[in-house]
Chain A
Amino acid sequence: MKKMLSLGLSFSMAVMLGACGAKATPTTTSVSSEGGTKQTQRETVNFWYLWGGEEAKIIEEIISKYNSSQDKYEVVGTSTPDQQVIITAISGGQGPDITDDFGGSVPKYANENIAQNLDEYIKKDNVDMTAFVDAALEQQKYEGSIYSLPISVNVFALYYNKDLLDKAGITKTPQTLEELMQMSEDTTLLDGESLTQLGAPFVPTNYWPNIFTYAYGSDFGQPSNWTPDNEGFKKSLEFMESQVKKFGKDALGNFITSGNSNLNTPQDPFLNGTQVFRIDGPWLYNMAKDAGVNFEMMPIPGAENVGGEGWSTVDTSMLYIPTTSAHKDGAWDFMKYMCMGEGNKLFCKLKGDLPPTKALLEDQEIVSLSPAQSVFSGIVAKNNLGALPQSLHTVEYSKAIKDAVETVLLGDSTEQALTKMKEAVSAIK
């Protein structure tokens, strides 16, 4: 009996300890040279990425190109479409040598010592960081240091329904933000208590307030100095307040709630032809085309006293090296290939993403991929881009901004919304 018991306990402990001690991958790989005669020892670099399905195939194709472009490192890709899994593996010391995420995560990962500080690597290789679009690079920084490199950028354009503008007798596109707001108001149609057509780009609710703020020449401050009540955001809220007063909070609220919950479906107001102006990303292009909408895209114009065009928020997808990586040099070499070199061009060409470097944004092979690509590349190149200050509390700050927009839509005045917002922001820590 004793024997049985001790065997049982030993087995259980062995299983547990075995699971804890398992190593993820070997550190070197033997690779035959082209002629098949010479064996070279390559350092294995594990790359876990969030992309899956067809996109994962593209990533594997790029990895394969990288592996055949040099004989020092062998990158092994693994599709891991779950951030939580990657972070848990890193915190347990079993993570990849390099992985991807979004620019907004940089402060958190830098502060938690998840992402490797890249300053030394950049200095050692004398990398020209001015090659990157400024706003895209800014997202990779935390407290003045760089922790990741952008692999692609995401910006927004103004889509407009040509048929609805024609119907309203509007023959030219808005040249300023004020003209856009006036046209939005003029093309909003109220039938009794319901809106039958929305002029303003209030659907989706998430994009327009920040972009309007930047187009007014304002921003939401720096990590150490937030400016929630900046002039641009105040004017953006005042615009929404004026529309709420003119068309009624119920009519506008019903339309926006319905629009938001039906985004990218046949009931999406832009796709079913009941929204005139829409601020959205490149993904809407094919959907609107398939839905048969007669539309065009243009960069978002600035306010009269600001000028310029192509105002937008910017998000980035990025690569970072976990601090636990055992092959940081190889990871850094692969990172440069993916974010700045031929690999990035291939990535953007195959995936249809916007490149983060100024040179590739003007590359004809990239620009000519689709009509949408040229508009969005142009917006990135104009560099009138903004983002919320990179801090550990960006998510809370973002919630306070969304709440302020929502309360104006529910009938509060701009002043009331800003007062509540300032209180909420001052309580964040």
Chain B
Amino acid sequence: MNKTNRQSVRTNLEGFLFALPWLIGFIIFSVYPIFMSGYYSFTDFSAIKDPVFVGLENYKSLLKDPLFYKSLKNTVVYVLFSVTMGIFLALVIATMLNKKWKGRTIFRAIFFLPSVVPVVASTMIWVWVFDPNHGYLNNFLRIFGVSTINWLGDPSWTMASVVMITLWGMGSSMVIFLAAMQDVPKELYEAAGIDGAGGLAKFFSITLPGIAHVVLYQVILALINGFQYFTQVYIIIRAQSGNISQGINGGPRDSLMMYPLYLFYNAFTVLKMGRAAAMSWILFLVVSFITFVLLKVSKKWVMNR
């Protein structure tokens, strides 16, 4: 080994040594639990007694469980609406705030503010806003003669309510779109203007292709977050039962039983950790598949930069 090679090995080893504490943490707290959850998904495990290998039993029992399908359906519907509407709204608002007009910085702050409010606090406020008798939303709608809506107690309104909560917090996506839009070369707009392009044409032909990679990133992120939607529904359901129920339920007719909530119910309420681990692997496969399809399809509409 010559001197240069020895120096290179030494540098690599030193680098490895510096990274070692993180690597150990990563192996213990991430890699090991991931592999163990895969193993537990094939066992009868309560987190206390030793796991007993049961093969595919957890997966089979889930496929026969109506609440599993209900929770999956609820989550897919939620993801569909919250992602499409959230991205659309964030794009529209970012476009508006990208124009030069007086007071736009104040509006940028206003739209971004909800995303910095802690999720527990904001959900509690929404429970209050949605209160059928004393809530601000119904009080406001009554001015227009709209009858009282039981937003969180009527299964036909619960999904709309949680999507609304998500849309309220789309400020972070909006800011990212705004930053991406400001990165699009101004010369393109000037050239398009000289060619006689209008606002809409500029948006669809310049802005959208220019930020497509960011849109894709935001869609994937929103999708993953959507499939992990838990805290808000957990708080809503606890609040609806006066915070006194043992365990949890799924809201009216289980309309708020989201997939992660049912996973939590299996893991921590009825202590079926093996079943919960199987659910987490199914969720992982579903999200991976959708992300894979999105990435494949995106090649047609996302420019490589």
Chain A interface residues toward B at CB < 8 A: 1, 4-5, 8-9, 12, 16, 87, 90-91, 104, 108, 112-114, 193-194, 204-206, 250, 253-258, 260-264, 267, 393, 395-396, 398-399, 402-403, 406-407, 410, 427
CB closest residue in chain B, given A407: B253
- Cβ of B134 and Cβ of A262 under 8 Å apart? yes
**Interface members, chain B 214-265 (any A CB < 8 Å):** 239-247, 249, 252-254
Instruction: Choose, from B31-39, B84-92, B145-153, the stretch at the interface.
Output: B145-153
B residues less than 8 Å from A407 (CB atoms): 253
Return B136 CB to nearest CB of chain A, in Å: 13
- Cβ of B247 and Cβ of A9 under 8 Å apart? no
Partner of A398, one of B65, B153, B243, B246: B246
- Cβ of A396 and Cβ of B46 under 8 Å apart? no
A residues less than 8 Å from B155 (CB atoms): 410
B49 interface hit (Cβ, 8 Å):
yes
- Cβ of B246 and Cβ of A395 under 8 Å apart? yes
Chain B interface residues toward A at CB < 8 A: 10, 13-14, 17, 20-21, 24, 28, 46-49, 65, 127, 131-135, 147-148, 150, 152-155, 239-247, 249, 252-254, 269-271
Return A269 CB to nearest CB of chain B, in Å: 9
> For the complex, would chain B's binding face be called helix, strand, loop or mixed by DSSP majority?
loop
> For the complex, would chain A's binding face be called helix, strand, loop or mixed by DSSP majority?
helix
- Cβ of A395 and Cβ of B153 under 8 Å apart? no
Partner of A257, one of B132, B253, B270: B132
- Cβ of A410 and Cβ of B253 under 8 Å apart? yes
B residues less than 8 Å from A112 (CB atoms): 46, 48-49, 271
- Cβ of A1 and Cβ of B10 under 8 Å apart? yes
Most chain B CB inside 10 Å of its own CB: which residue of A250, A398, A407: A250
- Cβ of A258 and Cβ of B240 under 8 Å apart? no
B residues less than 8 Å from A406 (CB atoms): 249, 252-253
Give CA–CA (A207, B249) in the complex, Å.
15
Partner of A258, one of B14, B47, B132, B269: B132
- Cβ of A9 and Cβ of B269 under 8 Å apart? no
Listed A/B pairs (23) with beta-carbon separation below 8 Å: A1-B10, A5-B17, A8-B20, A12-B21, A90-B48, A114-B48, A193-B148, A194-B133, A204-B244, A205-B241, A250-B147, A250-B150, A253-B150, A254-B133, A254-B148, A255-B132, A257-B131, A258-B135, A395-B270, A396-B270, A410-B154, A410-B252, A410-B253
- Cβ of B239 and Cβ of A261 under 8 Å apart? yes
- Cβ of A267 and Cβ of B247 under 8 Å apart? no
- Cβ of B134 and Cβ of A267 under 8 Å apart? yes
B residues less than 8 Å from A12 (CB atoms): 20-21, 24
- Cβ of B247 and Cβ of A398 under 8 Å apart? yes
A residues less than 8 Å from B10 (CB atoms): 1
**Do A258 and B133 contact each other (CB < 8 Å), given the known contacts A193-B148, A395-B247, A398-B247?**
yes
The number of inter-chain residue pairs (CB within 8 angstroms) is 110
Q: 20 more A-B contacts (CB under 8 A) besides A1-B10, A12-B21, A250-B147?
A: A5-B17, A9-B20, A16-B24, A112-B48, A113-B49, A204-B242, A206-B242, A250-B154, A254-B148, A257-B152, A258-B135, A260-B240, A260-B241, A263-B242, A267-B134, A395-B246, A403-B249, A403-B254, A410-B155, A410-B252
- Cβ of B249 and Cβ of A402 under 8 Å apart? yes
Give CA–CA (A253, B156) in the complex, Å.
13
CB closest residue in chain B, given A108: B271
- Cβ of A402 and Cβ of B271 under 8 Å apart? no
- Cβ of A255 and Cβ of B133 under 8 Å apart? yes
Partner of B17, one of A8, A113, A194: A8
**Do A257 and B271 contact each other (CB < 8 Å), given the known contacts A5-B13, A267-B134, A410-B253?**
no
Return A202 CB to nearest CB of chain B, in Å: 12
Partner of A250, one of B148, B241, B271: B148
Which 8 pairs across A and B sit closest by C-beta, in order of nearness?
A: A257-B153, A263-B242, A254-B132, A258-B133, A112-B48, A395-B247, A260-B242, A204-B242
Return A55 CB to nearest CB of chain B, in Å: 18
CB closest residue in chain A, given B47: A91
A residues less than 8 Å from B21 (CB atoms): 12
Give CA–CA (A138, B127) in the complex, Å.
38
B residues less than 8 Å from A393 (CB atoms): 270
Partner of B240, one of A9, A194, A257, A267: A257
- Cβ of B246 and Cβ of A253 under 8 Å apart? no
Most chain A CB inside 10 Å of its own CB: which residue of B24, B244, B253: B244
Give CA–CA (A314, B243) in the complex, Å.
18
**Do A206 and B245 contact each other (CB < 8 Å), given the known contacts A254-B133, A267-B134, A393-B270?**
yes
Return B248 CB to nearest CB of chain A, in Å: 8
Give CA–CA (A205, B251) in the complex, Å.
13
A residues less than 8 Å from B46 (CB atoms): 112
- Cβ of A258 and Cβ of B246 under 8 Å apart? no
Return B120 CB to nearest CB of chain A, in Å: 15
- Cβ of A402 and Cβ of B245 under 8 Å apart? yes
A residues less than 8 Å from B13 (CB atoms): 1, 5
Most chain A CB inside 10 Å of its own CB: which residue of B132, B135, B239, B240: B132
CB closest residue in chain A, given B254: A403
Partner of A87, one of B48, B134, B246, B252: B48
A residues less than 8 Å from B270 (CB atoms): 393, 395-396
Give CA–CA (A2, B169) in the complex, Å.
52
Most chain B CB inside 10 Å of its own CB: which residue of A12, A253, A406, A427: A406
A residues less than 8 Å from B20 (CB atoms): 8-9, 12
Return A142 CB to nearest CB of chain B, in Å: 15
Give CA–CA (A9, B240) in the complex, Å.
52
CB closest residue in chain A, given B6: A1
Return B264 CB to nearest CB of chain A, in Å: 13
Return A375 CB to nearest CB of chain B, in Å: 20
Give CA–CA (A267, B48) in the complex, Å.
42
A residues less than 8 Å from B247 (CB atoms): 395, 398-399
Return A198 CB to nearest CB of chain B, in Å: 11
A residues less than 8 Å from B241 (CB atoms): 204-206, 260, 402
Partner of A261, one of B47, B48, B242: B242
